[in-house]
Amino acid sequence: MKPKKRRLLGSTAFILAFTACMAACSSDKENTDASNETPKPTTEAVKAVDHAQQAKIKFDPPVTITTALVQEQLDNAFKTGETIEDNVFTRWMKDNMGIQVKFDFIVGKQTDFDTKLRLLLASDEKLPDVFTGSFAADLIDAGKLLPLNDAIEQYASPNLKQLFAQYPQAFESVTRDGIIYGIPRFLSADEGGVMWIREDWLKRLNLTAPTTIVEFEKLLEAFTNQDPDGNGKPDTFGLAVSLKDGMYTWMASADPIFGAFSDYMAPEFRSITQFWNPDANGKLVYGAVDPSAKPFLETMARWKNSGYIDPEAGVKDAMKAVEPAVQGNAGVLFGPNWMGQWPLEDTAKSNPDAVWKAYPIPAGPEGKIGRVVNLTGGSLVFSKDFKHIDAWFAYLNKMYARQFGNTDPYYDPTFEAGFFEGYDYVNHNGKTIKNGFKESGVPQDKWPLASGKTMDMKYALYALHGAFAPTVPYLGDPGYKKFADDPNALAANSAEERVKSLTKSQLEAGNVRQTQSSADKFNSFQGAPSETMQSKGALLNKLESEAYLKIIYGEKPVDYFDEFVKEWRASGGDQVISDANAWYESTKKK
């Protein structure tokens, strides 16, 4: 792990300072409406619980924690007869921890979730005890959220406090005047893009994988014009890419190409809060309007004009963009290591000789490499009326202990192999099997589901996380090499257990990703959207989308970028830049 990029600040001194600050901070802002007055952290030192004893607690009588959720329709989320309200994990929580989970509401879309919360807020009705804080700033302003400084100091396990200290920037969006109002949902941070190439096409054309953008362009030309599939038809092109929602998306992304030209992160057209990075002077820069975007746009326009990229890239989302690669019409795309199994393995269904292989992303003319990496997936917030934050932390500590390993005081050996046998794993002939049950000889009546699928446990397990698993960034990285070298090696923690279940191609791609850790770039703006961001953000994103696609599709010359930037700044962009930097400066004040 690279301290420069990942800001690992977990020294003992920092942890002590961080937790002391959380225990001592208080707000100067007063709310004159007593019914909405948020309780403030105490100014006295808060003593942590005895974690060895706290880990054994079963709440008696049982406590109830209410929550709410956006639930997708998955065919492998629950076994027959189980529901999100009643399943193997909710029963385990009640029987072993004395915690009952109840849902105030369950919806199918994030927009419905936000609407429901806003209605509750507008009518001053009871909020769920814990929920995802998609508009935390408004809830903080309304005095509806529980301050967490004291609770973190008192109830968070030592390992959890150290994780919080390692990534203080993850709290910035839910901190106001030194008071913390939310817990970030950390991601594994191992999905930085690699370059996936049709290896069989490379061999057919006697080519080698490119290491620079110049070499990459030559490869695109060959895959477009030199009949790499050998069928005698002009039915292939080089790059499968999605440009509909921006230059960055979750697969078939253009962010490594942008990163070859710019020090900043590739634009995403869905929110003005994404993406910002500091320049050499410590000022936040919005990469979409930085001059370094021009050579990227010039390059993409040239490739589009030459037929090297998908002609429909501008209207395709990520799912649609990968289809030409899977169907055998495109030979290169960028995306996470897990793409080696899905969806790229499906290429072999129509062409058994098809082989995809992961390579490092190419460097730009000045040696630059860069890719987008997401550190968190939002935050959880708590109603100011929540009475059982101790129970919630007891649960969270136990879930995170799977990540930290058996030396953590909250580690539960029940979950050593997985969560529940017959759900996310099967024991067979002395081995723990987590996928490929048929291939491993597991009798069908022992499969988690008749379809042969592994159970997707997220709704059963993580109702109190908004369907996000408790995760420690980069914790699984050592496992990629370990299990590529020895599939039977022992996992050090649950993060490595997840990595151990990956296929050979996914492990190899994960190792490729780690050779370019310096390319990882995080969004440096984690604050709440400013008033201008909220009122002008949609317009500014629309201007970006239209300008970028017009240039790439040749409707406008590259110099149109300068005209776009001028209009963007005049349409509220200058104020947005000022707002973002004002927030960034406020995070530096101690």
Domain segments of the chain as ranges: 9-28+39-186+385-404, 194-372+521-588, 419-520
For residues 225 and 78, what is the distance between their CA atoms, to the nearest angstrom?
48
What does each C-alpha distance from 577 to 175, 255, 287 come to in angstroms? 20, 22, 11
The CATH class for the domain spanning 9-28+39-186+385-404 reads: alpha beta
pLDDT in tens, the chain (590 residues): 333 333 333 334 444 444 444 444 333 333 334 345 555 565 457 889 999 999 999 999 999 999 999 888 888 889 999 999 999 999 999 999 999 999 999 999 988 999 999 999 999 999 999 999 888 888 998 999 999 999 999 999 999 999 999 999 899 889 888 899 999 999 999 999 999 999 999 999 999 999 999 999 999 999 999 999 999 999 999 999 999 999 999 999 999 999 999 999 999 999 999 999 999 999 999 999 999 999 999 999 999 999 999 999 999 999 999 999 999 999 999 999 999 999 999 999 999 999 999 999 999 999 999 999 999 988 999 999 999 999 999 999 999 999 999 999 999 999 988 899 999 999 999 988 888 899 999 999 999 999 888 888 888 777 677 666 789 999 999 999 999 999 989 998 889 988 998 999 999 999 999 999 999 999 999 887 899 999 999 999 999 999 999 999 999 999 999 999 999 999 999 999 999 999 898 877 54
Q: Are 28 and 177 in contact (CB under 8 A)?
A: yes
Q: Are 135 and 118 in contact (CB under 8 A)?
A: yes
At 204, which helix (H) or strand (E)? helix 199-204
Q: How confident is the model at residue 463, as a pLDDT?
A: 67
For residues 497 and 505, what is the distance between their CA atoms, to the nearest angstrom?
17
**What's the pTM value of the predicted model, to 2 decimals?**
0.85
Fold: same for 9-28+39-186+385-404 and 194-372+521-588: yes
Q: How confident is the model at residue 455, as a pLDDT?
A: 87
Q: How confident is the model at residue 508, as a pLDDT?
A: 97
Q: How confident is the model at residue 37, as a pLDDT?
A: 54
User: By CB neighbour count within 10 A (0-12 exposed, 13-18 middle, 19+ buried), where does 555 fall?
Assistant: exposed
What is the CATH topology of the domain spanning 194-372+521-588? D-Maltodextrin-Binding Protein; domain 2 (3.40.190)
Q: How confident is the model at residue 467, as a pLDDT?
A: 64
Q: How far is CA 152 from the centre of its chain?
A: 23
At 576, which helix (H) or strand (E)? helix 574-588
Q: Are 533 and 540 in contact (CB under 8 A)?
A: no
Nearest 10 degrees: Cα torsion 178, 180, 181, 184? 140
Look up residue 400 and give its amino acid.
Y
